[in-house]
A and B are shown apart, each in its own frame.
Chain A
Amino acid sequence: MNIGYYPGCALHGSSDDYEESLRACLKTLDVKLQEIDEWICCGATAAHSLNQKLSIALPARNLALAERGGFGEILAPCPMCSMQLIKAQKALAGNEGLRREMSGIVELEVRGTTRVLNLIQVFGQIGLDRLKAALKSPLKSLSAACYYGCLLTRPPDVVEFDDCEQPHSMEAILTALGAKTVDWSYRTECCGGGMTMASEETVLDLSHKILSNAAAHGANCLVVACPMCHVNLDMKQPDIERRYGVRHGMVIYYLSDVVGMALGLPESALGINRHFVGKA
């Protein structure tokens, strides 16, 4: 399986452990990631709240590049990226005038034909049966709290992925790989996201609630599919513990980490050794 790959800024920067993990994991499953040439910002940060045109033009340029590269489908592991790309893709697909305008602005013809996938969807395409067949070391010790965060399933009419309030697709993957999953309350709550710059307190507060709730429901680890969530829950966890005077010690895995482990990859190959919170 060949698939286009749009890393976005996070996977080439603060969360390159995520890239390392998903590349290693997908390679084992014979999925070749082909990075889109010359990709640019997805427009997620300031663009979409300040300039409507720019908020489409930035992802449109990336979609145009993907089309030029001949990719029918691309993986955008960061939910903010995939949301921006899907939003632009849908707007372009349904509006010829906009396609013409955007093609002019981004100096490349864009048709809005690329399907943008998140990591869970890529595993879905590979299929649970294939995952089970490739299973080397079942995740028996994991009692995982699958954490979707606020963006992976939202806005539902844009991403059209899973049940937006009660999702279950990540649990399905983990269960297939022999892990236990816990039913907990904060699966689609916000971790604070980008507020980590503007209002760290907000992030610490929200992420603390998430960690506490997962622990209260018997989780021994959290599984995420968003680089920003990982930063807030993993890197900030010592700050959270200090601020609230508690000891969480909650390991935060990327989804590709746990799939990789189940496929028999060592933690070092998945970048898990670079996480801030290690095994208790």
Chain B
Amino acid sequence: MSRIGVFICWCGENIARTVDVDVVAQEVSKFPGVRCAMNYKYMCSDPGQALVREKIVAEKLDSVVIASCSPHMHLKTFRRAAQLAGLNPYKVEMANIREHCSWVHHDRAKATAKAASLIRLSAEKARLDHELQPIRVPVTRRALVIGGGVAGIQAALDIADAGYEVVMVERNPSIGGKMAGLSETFPTLDCSQCILTPRMVEVGQHPRIKLYSYSEVESVEGYIGNFTITIRQKARYVDISKCTGCGDCWSVCPLKRNKSEFDYGMGVRASIYVPFPQAVPARPVIDAKTCAKIIRNGCGLCEKKCKAGAINFQDTDKLVEEKVGAVVVATGYKLYDIGEKQDKASLAGYGEYGYGKYKDVIDSLQFERLLSASGPTNGVLKRPSDGTEPKNVVFISCVGSRDNAKGLPYCSKICCMYTAKHAMLYKHKVHDGQAHVFYMDIRAGGKGYEEFVRRAIEQDGAKYYRGRVSKITQEDGKLVVRGADTLAGVPITVEADLVVLAAAMRPADGVAELAQKLNVGYDEFGFLLESHPKLRPVETNAAGVFVCGACQAPKDIPESVAQASAAASKVAVTFAADELMREPEIAGINEQTCVACYACLRACPYHAIEQAEVRTPRGVFVKHTARVNPGLCMGCGTCVAVCPSKSADLEGFTEQQIYAMVESLV
């Protein structure tokens, strides 16, 4: 016979107002196996927990049912209390008589009866609880950071400075991300490169950071504490261990008119190139799509010129493996591609702005390059079509953002701020110029942000019109921008020399594929999902995988950096102990009855089930079976539901327990 103790919480008035806790206590004390039943005003309080501990000892209880709030709230609390009193913590069950009962019912008598029934279920389950031990998992104290933008850089440096090794994988030839291409940053107007490039150099020189530039994550295996990452190092055609970065190769390269990715097509680069002078690593890469030697075995001048012998036209992609214990995803964002060519048909639109048709209609990142001192115009503002200085510039915000018709209902958050910055920087460069801003709302929440926008309007004279632009046409070299000022209620026409579109922020290309490799969820827009929007903002539903920066949602530099540090601290927490403790409530397969149909393997959302063989101690093959990897299993129970031979079961939630619970009610 079991010795179950039932502890009924009033939750102040939350439960006691609707549920007669005295009556419930009397009722449940009659249930088979219940040794004692008591109620208390706040069971989670210190005296409440003391009561539980006392009774466990005094009544020699072998399991405990706490009837209170949701287990999400306090299961851990009561498990700890039970453990202190010498009871195995997995012999604690909770009956949720608050969310599932008192909060949703009015009839006191019926609620009281329901509370007793809920406790009965938990008591039946408690009776069949086993003692379980947490699973210990060894930890490789080494982290992978995917993405070398400002978020990835911050996370990598924080983790490395905490004493752990970091492997950083960056898709582009250099780290730095979007921020490296920005001119100045709001709301303080400090030069983006001046504050970022020292951090980039730190990453490049840090003894504990191993940088894989021009590389991508090919595959991910394993689980928290024990990931094996395969990294694809894309063929660079330059041996960066030999290369000295002298620059002879790109100065001799005859193909200098390729559109520069780093300048978003505003500038040009050679076929062998360093994306920008402060690149880390400051080593070139050959663009195989344009290089004459690679395409048709011509040229080859760079190879002849290179004193270090670093050019290797026979280079191929290489796969390397790295073992890590935690992963930080910091893959950032891209801008919404304005126009008809889209990865999803619903995103097509904004033909009225003529982006791609008129050279002087550009997006915000392209404008950043025109403003940047290191940009293609050396910071002298020249419009793309004819190189003249634009005297009237129109800025259009919310291009894509908050547009339900395009399937992008969200606010990209940073555009109001950078548009104000653009208007300001423009005025600082072209004193007799006029900035015009068409906006829907000005969202300037943040330290010093609203003041910054006011400065753009009041000191730098930017004209703000609340309204949309309906059409941009080109007449005599001018862009005729027609829109509405909905506050004044008048149509507006501006003859502009340059138009800058604040395109929406979207997750970087390939994030969905990466998320699938990592078993991380993502939303309908492709942004990665955090575990909890408020309380677990950098964790994901994959243990040991953390997110930071704009891959999770549109955000600005300060927020990305803060989130990156948060992710780094979570990595440090993961690495704090030699071993990780994981909850033991996971699935197991009865290998005797398993028919190896692998229905569970296909159903498992965490890829925690593998094909295995049963062998005798001497190694003779007996049969095939499915097997659960305890490091990966999250205890969801999907395998139990799909197993046709009833060979899968979930510790702490066995089929036997479920049947007992159901039977107790009928």
Which of A's residues lie within 8 Å of B, judged by CB?
Answer: 157, 163-166, 185-186, 189, 213, 216
Do residues A166 and B357 form an inter-chain contact, with CB atoms below 8 A?
A: yes
Q: How far is the CB of B504 from chain A (nearest CB, A)?
A: 18
Determine if B480 is an interface residue (Cβ-Cβ < 8 Å). Answer: yes
Do residues A163 and B340 form an inter-chain contact, with CB atoms below 8 A?
A: yes
Determine if B352 is an interface residue (Cβ-Cβ < 8 Å). Answer: yes
0/1 string, B387-425, CB within 8 A of A gives 1: 000000000000000000100000000000000000000
Residue contacts A-B, CB under 8 angstroms, 11 given: A163-B340, A164-B351, A165-B349, A165-B351, A165-B352, A166-B354, A166-B357, A185-B473, A185-B474, A185-B475, A216-B475
Q: How far is the CB of B173 from chain A (nearest CB, A)?
A: 35
Determine if B164 is an interface residue (Cβ-Cβ < 8 Å). Answer: no
- Interface residue ranges of B285-299 to A (CB < 8 Å): none
Q: How far is the CB of B358 from chain A (nearest CB, A)?
A: 10
Q: How far is the CA of A165 from the CA of B469 in the complex (A)?
A: 13
Do residues A185 and B351 form an inter-chain contact, with CB atoms below 8 A?
A: no
Determine if B42 is an interface residue (Cβ-Cβ < 8 Å). Answer: no
Q: Which residues of B contact A185 (CB under 8 A)?
A: 473-475, 480
Q: How far is the CB of A223 from chain B (nearest CB, A)?
A: 19
Q: Which residues of B contact A157 (CB under 8 A)?
A: 405
Q: Which residues of A contact B480 (CB under 8 A)?
A: 185
Determine if B464 is an interface residue (Cβ-Cβ < 8 Å). Answer: no
Do residues A166 and B473 form an inter-chain contact, with CB atoms below 8 A?
A: no
Q: How far is the CA of A157 from the CA of B346 in the complex (A)?
A: 10
Do residues B351 and A166 form an inter-chain contact, with CB atoms below 8 A?
A: yes
Q: How far is the CA of A42 from the CA of B349 in the complex (A)?
A: 29
Q: Which residues of A contact B357 (CB under 8 A)?
A: 166
Q: How far is the CB of A279 from chain B (nearest CB, A)?
A: 27
Question: Apart from A165-B350, A185-B473, A186-B473, what 5 extra A-B contacts exist at CB < 8 Å?
Answer: A165-B349, A166-B354, A185-B474, A185-B475, A189-B471
Q: How far is the CA of A163 from the CA of B471 in the complex (A)?
A: 14
Q: Which residues of B contact A213 (CB under 8 A)?
A: 475
Residue among A163, A189, A216 making CB contact with B351, cutoff 8 Å: A163
- Interface residue ranges of B353-371 to A (CB < 8 Å): 354, 357
Q: How far is the CB of B316 from chain A (nearest CB, A)?
A: 42
Chain A residue with minimal CB distance to B480? A185
Interface SS of chain A: loop
Q: How far is the CA of A166 from the CA of B471 in the complex (A)?
A: 11
Q: How far is the CB of A171 from chain B (nearest CB, A)?
A: 14
Chain A residue with minimal CB distance to B475? A185
Q: Which residues of B contact A164 (CB under 8 A)?
A: 351
Q: How far is the CB of B317 from chain A (nearest CB, A)?
A: 38
For chain B, give the interface size range. Answer: 10 to 19
Q: Which residues of A contact B474 (CB under 8 A)?
A: 185
Q: Which residues of A contact B475 (CB under 8 A)?
A: 185, 213, 216
Q: Which residues of A contact B471 (CB under 8 A)?
A: 165, 189
Q: How far is the CA of A166 from the CA of B357 in the complex (A)?
A: 10
0/1 string, B330-350, CB within 8 A of A gives 1: 000000000010000000011
Q: Which residues of A contact B351 (CB under 8 A)?
A: 163-166
Q: Which residues of B contact A186 (CB under 8 A)?
A: 473
Q: Which residues of A contact B352 (CB under 8 A)?
A: 165
Q: How far is the CA of A186 from the CA of B470 in the complex (A)?
A: 12
Q: How far is the CA of A35 from the CA of B126 in the complex (A)?
A: 79
0/1 string, B530-555, CB within 8 A of A gives 1: 00000000000000000000000000
0/1 string, B429-473, CB within 8 A of A gives 1: 000000000000000000000000000000000000000000101
Q: How far is the CB of A215 from chain B (nearest CB, A)?
A: 12
Q: How far is the CB of A42 from chain B (nearest CB, A)?
A: 26
Q: How far is the CA of A163 from the CA of B352 in the complex (A)?
A: 10
Chain A residue with minimal CB distance to B354? A166
0/1 string, B553-567, CB within 8 A of A gives 1: 000000000000000
Q: How far is the CB of A164 from chain B (nearest CB, A)?
A: 7
Q: Which residues of B contact A166 (CB under 8 A)?
A: 340, 351, 354, 357
Chain A residue with minimal CB distance to B351? A165
Q: How far is the CB of A84 from chain B (nearest CB, A)?
A: 21
Chain B residue with minimal CB distance to A216? B475
Q: How far is the CB of A163 from chain B (nearest CB, A)?
A: 5
Q: How far is the CB of B484 from chain A (nearest CB, A)?
A: 15
Q: Which residues of B contact A163 (CB under 8 A)?
A: 340, 351
Chain B residue with minimal CB distance to A156? B349
Q: How far is the CA of A166 from the CA of B474 in the complex (A)?
A: 13
Top 6 A-B pairs, shortest CB-CB distance: A165-B351, A185-B473, A166-B351, A165-B352, A163-B351, A163-B340
Q: How far is the CB of A114 from chain B (nearest CB, A)?
A: 24
Chain A residue with minimal CB distance to B356? A166
Q: How far is the CA of A185 from the CA of B475 in the complex (A)?
A: 8
Q: How far is the CA of A144 from the CA of B63 in the complex (A)?
A: 88
Q: How far is the CA of A108 from the CA of B405 in the complex (A)?
A: 35
Q: How far is the CA of A165 from the CA of B358 in the complex (A)?
A: 14
Q: How far is the CB of B491 from chain A (nearest CB, A)?
A: 13
Q: How far is the CA of A241 from the CA of B352 in the complex (A)?
A: 29
Q: How far is the CA of A34 from the CA of B475 in the complex (A)?
A: 44
Q: How far is the CA of A189 from the CA of B470 in the complex (A)?
A: 10
Q: How far is the CA of A189 from the CA of B357 in the complex (A)?
A: 18
Q: How far is the CA of A23 from the CA of B9 in the complex (A)?
A: 85
Chain B residue with minimal CB distance to A157? B405
Q: How far is the CB of A155 from chain B (nearest CB, A)?
A: 10
Q: How far is the CB of A149 from chain B (nearest CB, A)?
A: 14
Q: How far is the CA of A272 from the CA of B476 in the complex (A)?
A: 33
Q: How far is the CB of A264 from chain B (nearest CB, A)?
A: 35
Chain A residue with minimal CB distance to B353? A165
Q: How far is the CA of A213 from the CA of B473 in the complex (A)?
A: 11
Q: How far is the CA of A166 from the CA of B355 in the complex (A)?
A: 11
Chain B residue with minimal CB distance to A213? B475
Chain A residue with minimal CB distance to B405? A157
Q: How far is the CA of A166 from the CA of B349 in the complex (A)?
A: 10
Q: How far is the CA of A164 from the CA of B352 in the complex (A)?
A: 8
Q: How far is the CB of A150 from chain B (nearest CB, A)?
A: 11
Q: How far is the CB of B108 from chain A (nearest CB, A)?
A: 44
Q: Which residues of B contact A165 (CB under 8 A)?
A: 349-352, 471
Q: How far is the CB of A47 from chain B (nearest CB, A)?
A: 26
Q: Which of B340, B351, B357, B471 has the most chain A CB atoms inside 10 A of its CB?
A: B351
Q: How far is the CA of A186 from the CA of B472 in the complex (A)?
A: 10
Q: How far is the CB of A126 from chain B (nearest CB, A)?
A: 25
Q: Which residues of B contact A189 (CB under 8 A)?
A: 471
Q: How far is the CA of A216 from the CA of B474 in the complex (A)?
A: 12
Q: How far is the CA of A216 from the CA of B476 in the complex (A)?
A: 9
- Interface residue ranges of B132-165 to A (CB < 8 Å): none
Q: How far is the CB of B319 from chain A (nearest CB, A)?
A: 43
Q: How far is the CB of B396 from chain A (nearest CB, A)?
A: 14
Q: How far is the CB of B599 from chain A (nearest CB, A)?
A: 38
Q: How far is the CB of A122 from chain B (nearest CB, A)?
A: 24
Q: Which of A165, A189, A216 has the most chain B CB atoms inside 10 A of its CB?
A: A165
Q: How far is the CA of A185 from the CA of B471 in the complex (A)?
A: 9
Q: How far is the CB of A162 from chain B (nearest CB, A)?
A: 10
Chain B residue with minimal CB distance to A167? B351
Q: How far is the CB of B470 from chain A (nearest CB, A)?
A: 10
0/1 string, B99-112, CB within 8 A of A gives 1: 00000000000000
Q: How far is the CB of A60 from chain B (nearest CB, A)?
A: 26
Q: How far is the CB of A154 from chain B (nearest CB, A)?
A: 11
Q: How far is the CA of A186 from the CA of B351 in the complex (A)?
A: 13
Chain A residue with minimal CB distance to B476? A216
Q: How far is the CB of A167 from chain B (nearest CB, A)?
A: 9
Q: Which residues of A contact B349 (CB under 8 A)?
A: 165
Chain B residue with minimal CB distance to A153? B351
Q: Which residues of A contact B354 (CB under 8 A)?
A: 166
Chain B residue with minimal CB distance to A217? B475
